[in-house]
């Protein structure tokens, strides 16, 4: 087999700041290369350089990119137009923003066909529908007339795949094609993409932060760090015997590849929160239906489910940020279902919340010192002088106190959010996907921090996650939610190793890295 | 706001129009603060012998029908005109922001009632509204300023409400509430600072239009009583001599235009830098 794409000593910089420093990659027809790395490693920049779509300010400093013998770095804008879509296609990262909201999806797929003159205006709609069918969309003729907002995230991603296939490219670059999707959807999409690539003898360049996904899907893996490829090799060999320290670090951090809990699981304890028959209707839609569970002091209960399963709504009802339509919430023996006003505010002292997105949950105008001591201020329980101690607890230096959130990395911000949640020494902390927005190695650090703080302070965690891989590291008990119903609930080991419900089994099977482990 | 207003030297130098606009406003501000530095003529009493002279080295903007130096009257009028414009903007900014903040943060029937009132205010052309108000209030520069300010309240209230609605949906606002922060503190520490930016930009923009509206009302005779110099009444005063002494209306009019355009330019720069 011959090399289809060869990247040699590629260096890219943004306004003189180097992002990629000397990368060599080759992809052959019919093979899949996964480029794995964390944010800022330069993996996306490399992908964008290959398809000539570097963002403003980015330029190629040196190196060459050859595709089927043709040098791409020297191409003119016109030359690129013949390559993009026709020879190399890109499946972008976020299906929510990558489709034009005012055009029907069929037209958007047909656009590529028309631009490259592959179909006439008359035959394009039928061809677009056929592409949608090949991307795995049922009833493609009807879906083609839908607008993007009428489709789910998984379907939108399939539309993007159809659009990428339209020009019959020889190479498809998939930039984190599934990280915005639920795990079961992610699995189906990646299965489908793999099958298509094999069918058409396509080369696939898969950009991902998830070593588990790479292990499942790629023939070869290139690990990138700090703008360089630190290790490259066939998937199985690279994972079995990682040569580079950074690869080993990624491997040990990847939750999908390590099944051990971070601390021994706890079985029994005195209940702190007990929820019975909880129900929530938003208009005619029932978001949560008859959910009951208990959370004991010092333990972790994980609520698992995909988007729309009602897990976040359930947590918000426990915190009384939403009022249940029916059912009761008891906190430390007291019925808090109908608490209001000042009494509800005083209760907040004992229950705190950590959000998924540390970029959105910190007020950008306030300094870190003000942010972490905010709850102390609200309850007159301390002053800004306590800020340093709070930061110390989450292993951040006191020098951070004067900074603004924008000057911190995602992991640092999440630590600040944790420090804020712990400022009042609460009994219960609700963690709503606390690590989903973070890189894997940062994820591992934050999870370890959460577990350590739980040991030190005797916290109870209500842990919301879509990721069973993360859950099995931290949970004592697990509840699985699907479409508002609690389909399975029990001790973590039982649920994770002896799942009773079909849906739980499906979720477990969808954890990336699973294929490799089973083999 | 500090980071918005602090212009980097290079940023301004690459935009000569912006530099010019800032220069114009600074100059007018200096006129208002220390008028005697710019002219040695008396703005109130003229030399009848030198009446209706055209612009010359001695009289930059010429002289009027009683021989007063028009430039001196523009310079001395700056303080009154600017003070009126600034008070009008402050009235509109403060009242509008408070109304918008309350409406956006409280929501429900209060929001509905306040916004319907604002809709009515917006439906009437601002100059008509100011005229109606100033007729009720009586004459004088302060009253003109109040009338112009009130006529602009609705714009600020609308924008502030929209910003509050946007910020209020932010995760950090809910995070504060979930952390037990009182509603008033959420409003002042989290919502207001993050919603204020565009409203302040609108303030700068409104400064330009306020100068214009106040001048218009003064031109119509609602403003300062003669012989007090005020930009609008200067233009009005020269109207009778338009055929023979064009400079009496044109040059003060150009000063007003320059100030309005400068305020616009700076407001656009603030807006752009934020985006």
Per residue in B81-96, pLDDT tens?
899 999 999 999 999 9
Residues A246 and A318 placed together within one structural domain of the fold: no
How close does chain B come to A346, measured CA to CA in Å? 7
Residue B193: list chain A partners with CB under 8 A. Answer: 363, 365
User: Which of these three, A136, A168, A200, is where a domain ends?
Assistant: A168
For A380, nearest residue in chain B (alpha carbons): B181
DSSP H or E segment with residue A387: helix A387-393
Any domain includes A264 = no
Residues A82 and A154 placed together within one structural domain of the fold: no
How far is the C-alpha of A445 from the C-alpha of A84, rounded, in Å? Answer: 40
pLDDT score for B10: 65
Q: Decide if A363 and B174 are in contact by the 8 Å CB cutoff.
A: no
How close does chain A come to B191, measured CA to CA in Å? 9
What pTM does this model have? 0.75
Closest CA to A509 of A500, A518, A157, A465: A518
Q: Which residue blocks in A361-491 are alpha helix, DSSP H?
A: 368-378, 387-393, 410-422, 440-457, 468-474
Closest residue to B178, CB basis, from A346, A353, A379:
A353
CATH of the domain at A297: 3.40.50.300
CA dist list (Å): A415 to A323, A368, A409: 29, 11, 10
How far is the C-alpha of B143 from the C-alpha of B87, rounded, in Å? Answer: 10
Residue A336: list chain B partners with CB under 8 A. Answer: none
Residue A365: list chain B partners with CB under 8 A. Answer: 193-194
How close does chain B come to A2, measured CA to CA in Å? 48
How far is the C-alpha of B219 from the C-alpha of B232, rounded, in Å? Answer: 5
How close does chain B come to A414, measured CA to CA in Å? 13
Q: Decide if B171 and A360 are in contact by the 8 Å CB cutoff.
A: yes
The single-letter DSSP state of residue A385 is G
- Is B166 touching A (CB cutoff 8 A)? no
Residues A454 and A482 placed together within one structural domain of the fold: yes
Token look-up 């398809």 returns A51
Contacts of A499 (CB under 8 A, 6+ apart): A488, A505, A508
Contacts of A484 (CB under 8 A, 6+ apart): A286, A287, A288, A289, A291, A309, A310
pLDDT score for A257: 56
How far is the C-alpha of A504 from the C-alpha of B139, rounded, in Å? Answer: 78
Closest CA to B152 of B219, B203, B76: B203
How close does chain A come to B140, measured CA to CA in Å? 41
- Is B194 touching A (CB cutoff 8 A)? yes
pLDDT score for A35: 92
Q: Decide if B179 and A378 are in contact by the 8 Å CB cutoff.
A: yes
How close does chain A come to B17, measured CA to CA in Å? 26
Residues A207 and A222 placed together within one structural domain of the fold: yes
Identify the contact set of chain A against chain B, taking CB-CB distances under 8 A. Answer: 319, 321, 345-346, 348-349, 352-353, 355, 357, 360-366, 374-375, 377-379, 417, 420-421, 424
pLDDT score for A416: 92
The ipTM value here is: 0.71
What is the separation of C-alpha A503 from the centre of its chain, rounded to a whole number of angstroms? 20
Any domain includes A144 = yes
Q: Decide if A319 and B176 are in contact by the 8 Å CB cutoff.
A: no
- Is B175 touching A (CB cutoff 8 A)? yes
Residue B175: list chain A partners with CB under 8 A. Answer: 353, 355, 361-362, 417, 420
For chain A, the distance separating the N- and C-terminal CA atoms, rounded to the nearest angstrom, is 26
Closest residue to B179, CB basis, from A346, A348, A364:
A348
Q: Decide if B179 and A357 are in contact by the 8 Å CB cutoff.
A: no
How close does chain B come to A306, measured CA to CA in Å? 21
pLDDT score for A16: 80
For A377, nearest residue in chain B (alpha carbons): B181
Q: Decide if A346 and B180 are in contact by the 8 Å CB cutoff.
A: yes
Any domain includes A266 = no
Any domain includes A265 = no
Closest residue to A378, CB basis, from B170, B171, B180:
B180
Q: pLDDT 10s digit of each residue in chain A, 519 long? A: 478 899 999 998 888 888 888 899 999 888 899 998 887 788 888 988 888 888 877 888 888 999 888 888 888 888 888 888 888 999 887 777 888 889 899 999 998 888 888 888 888 889 999 888 888 888 888 888 888 888 877 788 889 888 888 888 889 998 887 766 777 777 888 888 888 888 888 899 999 888 888 888 888 999 998 888 999 889 888 888 888 888 888 887 776 555 677 888 887 788 899 999 899 988 888 888 889 998 998 899 999 988 778 888 899 999 998 889 999 999 988 888 888 888 888 888 899 999 888 888 899 888 899 999 988 888 888 888 888 888 988 888 888 888 888 888 888 888 899 999 988 889 999 998 888 777 777 888 888 889 999 988 889 999 998 888 888 888 999 999 988 889 999 888 888 888 899 988 888 888 776 544 433
Residues A205 and A235 placed together within one structural domain of the fold: yes
Q: Decide if A361 and B194 are in contact by the 8 Å CB cutoff.
A: no
Q: Decide if A375 and B179 are in contact by the 8 Å CB cutoff.
A: yes
Residues A329 and A184 placed together within one structural domain of the fold: no
Residues A293 and A244 placed together within one structural domain of the fold: no
Closest CA to A346 of A324, A323, A375: A375
Angle at A213 between CA A209 and CA A216, to 5 degrees: 150
DSSP H or E segment with residue B259: helix B247-274
How far is the C-alpha of A337 from the C-alpha of A328, rounded, in Å? Answer: 6
Query: Which of the four CATH numbers 2.30.40.10, 1.10.3720.10, 1.20.1250.20, 3.30.830.10 does domain B20-35+62-274 have?
Result: 1.10.3720.10
How close does chain A come to B189, measured CA to CA in Å? 8
pLDDT score for B4: 43
Residues A117 and A205 placed together within one structural domain of the fold: no
Residue B180: list chain A partners with CB under 8 A. Answer: 345-346, 348-349, 375, 378-379, 424
Q: Decide if B194 and A364 are in contact by the 8 Å CB cutoff.
A: yes
How far is the C-alpha of B273 from the C-alpha of A234, rounded, in Å? Answer: 48
Question: Tokens standing for A499?
Answer: 């799942």
Burial of A111 (0-12, 13-18, 19+ CB in 10 A): middle
For B182, nearest residue in chain A (alpha carbons): A378
How close does chain A come to B169, measured CA to CA in Å? 11
Kindly tell me the number of DSSP H helices and DSSP E strands found in chain B.
Answer: 12, 0
**B249 within 8 A of B270, measured Cβ to Cβ:** no
How far is the C-alpha of B9 from the C-alpha of B29, rounded, in Å? Answer: 21
Any domain includes A516 = no
Residues A496 and A446 placed together within one structural domain of the fold: yes
User: Which of these three, A168, A191, A208, is where a domain ends?
Assistant: A168
For B2, nearest residue in chain A (alpha carbons): A365
Residues A14 and A162 placed together within one structural domain of the fold: no
Residues A164 and A202 placed together within one structural domain of the fold: no
Q: Please give the tally of structural domains in chain A.
A: 3
How far is the C-alpha of B166 from the C-alpha of B77, rounded, in Å? Answer: 42
- Per-domain residue ranges for chain B? 20-35+62-274
pLDDT score for A477: 92
Strand A171-175 vs strand A203-208: parallel, antiparallel, or unpaired? parallel
pLDDT score for A72: 87
How far is the C-alpha of A273 from the C-alpha of A460, rounded, in Å? Answer: 9
Q: Given a cut of 80, is residue B78 above it in pLDDT? A: yes
Token look-up 């009130």 returns B150
Query: Which structural domain range is residue A390 located in?
Result: 271-509
Residue B177: list chain A partners with CB under 8 A. Answer: 321
The single-letter DSSP state of residue B154 is H
Residues A378 and A281 placed together within one structural domain of the fold: yes
How far is the C-alpha of A259 from the C-alpha of B86, rounded, in Å? Answer: 66
Residue B166: list chain A partners with CB under 8 A. Answer: none
User: A301-322 burial, b for 16+ CB within 10 Å, e for fewer?
Assistant: bbbbbbebbbbbbbbbbbbbbb
How close does chain B come to A314, measured CA to CA in Å? 15
The single-letter DSSP state of residue B63 is B
User: Which of these three, A137, A168, A199, is where a domain ends?
Assistant: A168
Residue A378: list chain B partners with CB under 8 A. Answer: 179-182, 185
pLDDT score for B30: 92
Residue B178: list chain A partners with CB under 8 A. Answer: 319, 321, 348, 352-353
Q: Decide if A364 and B174 are in contact by the 8 Å CB cutoff.
A: no
* Mean confidence (pLDDT) of chain B: 86
Q: Decide if B185 and A353 are in contact by the 8 Å CB cutoff.
A: no
């Amino acid at each position: 087999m011959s090399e289809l794409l060869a990247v040699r000593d590629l260096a890219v910089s943004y306004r003189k700041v180097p992002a990629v420093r000397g990368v060599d990659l080759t992809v052959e027809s019919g093979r899949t290369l996964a480029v794995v790395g964390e944010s800022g490693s330069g993996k996306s920049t490399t992908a964008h350089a290959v398809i000539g779509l570097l963002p403003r300010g980015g330029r190629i400093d040196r190196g060459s990119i050859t595709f089927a013998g043709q040098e791409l770095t020297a191409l003119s804008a016109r030359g690129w137009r013949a390559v993009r879509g026709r020879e190399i296609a890109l499946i972008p990262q976020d299906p929510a923003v990558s489709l034009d909201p005012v055009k029907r999806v069929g037209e958007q797929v047909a656009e590529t066909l028309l631009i490259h003159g592959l179909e006439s205006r008359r035959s394009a709609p039928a061809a677009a529908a056929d592409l949608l069918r090949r991307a795995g969309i049922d009833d493609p003729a009807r879906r083609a007339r839908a607008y993007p907002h009428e489709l789910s995230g998984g379907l939108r991603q399939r539309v993007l795949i159809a659009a990428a296939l339209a020009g019959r490219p020889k190479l498809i670059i998939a930039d984190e094609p599934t990280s915005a999707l639920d795990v079961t959807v992610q699995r189906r999409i990646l299965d489908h993409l793999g099958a298509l690539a094999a069918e058409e003898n396509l080369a696939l360049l898969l950009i991902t932060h998830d070593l588990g996904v790479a292990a499942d899907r790629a023939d070869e893996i290139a690990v990138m760090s700090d703008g360089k490829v630190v290790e490259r090799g066939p998937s199985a060999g690279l994972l079995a015997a990682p040569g580079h320290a950074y690869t080993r670090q990624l491997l040990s951090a990847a939750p999908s590849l390590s099944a051990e809990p971070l601390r021994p699981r706890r079985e029994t304890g005195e209940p702190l929160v007990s929820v019975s028959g909880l129900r929530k209707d938003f208009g005619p839609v029932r978001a949560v239906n008859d959910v009951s569970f208990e959370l004991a002091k010092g333990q972790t209960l994980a609520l698992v489910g995909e988007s729309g399963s009602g897990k976040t709504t359930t947590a918000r009802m426990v915190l009384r940020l939403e009022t249940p339509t029916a059912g009761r919430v008891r906190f430390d023996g007291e019925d808090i279902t109908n608490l209001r006003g000042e009494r509800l505010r005083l209760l907040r002292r004992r229950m705190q919340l950590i959000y998924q997105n540390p970029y959105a949950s910190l007020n950008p105008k306030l300094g870190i010192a003000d942010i972490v001591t905010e709850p102390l201020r609200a309850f007159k329980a301390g002053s800004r002088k306590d800020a340093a101690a709070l930061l110390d607890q989450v292993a951040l230096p006191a020098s951070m106190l004067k900074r603004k959130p924008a000057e911190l990395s995602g992991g640092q911000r999440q630590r600040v959010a944790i420090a804020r949640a712990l400022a009042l020494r609460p009994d219960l902390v609700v963690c709503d996907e606390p690590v989903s927005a973070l890189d894997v190695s940062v994820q591992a650090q934050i999870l370890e921090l959460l577990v350590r703080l739980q040991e030190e302070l005797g916290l109870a965690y209500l842990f919301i996650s879509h990721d069973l891989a993360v859950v099995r590291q931290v949970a004592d008990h697990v509840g699985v939610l699907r479409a508002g119903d609690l389909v399975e609930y029990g001790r973590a080991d039982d649920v994770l190793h002896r799942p009773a419900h079909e849906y739980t089994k499906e979720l477990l099977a969808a954890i990336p890295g699973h294929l490799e482990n089973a083999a | 706001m500090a980071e918005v207003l602090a212009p980097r030297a290079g940023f301004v130098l690459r935009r000569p129009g912006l530099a010019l606009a800032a220069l114009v406003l600074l100059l007018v501000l200096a006129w208002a603060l220390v008028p005697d530095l710019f002219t040695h003529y008396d703005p109130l009493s003229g030399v009848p012998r030198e009446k209706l002279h055209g612009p010359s080295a001695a009289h930059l903007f010429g002289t009027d029908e009683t021989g007063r130096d028009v430039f001196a009257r523009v310079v001395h009028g700056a303080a009154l005109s600017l003070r009126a414009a600034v008070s009008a903007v402050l009235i509109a900014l403060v009242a509008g922001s408070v109304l918008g903040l309350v409406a956006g943060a409280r929501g429900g029937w209060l929001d509905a009632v306040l916004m319907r009132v604002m809709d009515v205010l917006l439906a009437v052309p601002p100059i008509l509204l100011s005229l109606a108000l100033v007729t009720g209030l009586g004459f004088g520069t302060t009253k003109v300023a109040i009338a112009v300010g009130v006529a602009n309240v609705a714009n600020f209230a609308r924008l502030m409400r929209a910003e509050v609605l946007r910020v209020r949906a932010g995760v950090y606002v809910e995070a504060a509430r979930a952390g037990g922060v009182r509603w008033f503190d959420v409003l002042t520490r989290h919502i207001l600072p993050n919603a204020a930016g565009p409203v302040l930009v609108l303030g700068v923009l409104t400064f330009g239009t306020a100068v214009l509206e106040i001048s218009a009302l003064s031109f119509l005779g609602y403003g300062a009583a003669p012989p007090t110099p005020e930009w609008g009444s200067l233009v009005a005063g020269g109207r009778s001599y338009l055929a023979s002494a064009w400079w009496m209306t044109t040059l003060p009019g150009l000063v007003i235009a320059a100030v309005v355009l400068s305020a616009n330019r700076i407001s656009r720069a603030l807006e752009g830098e934020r985006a």
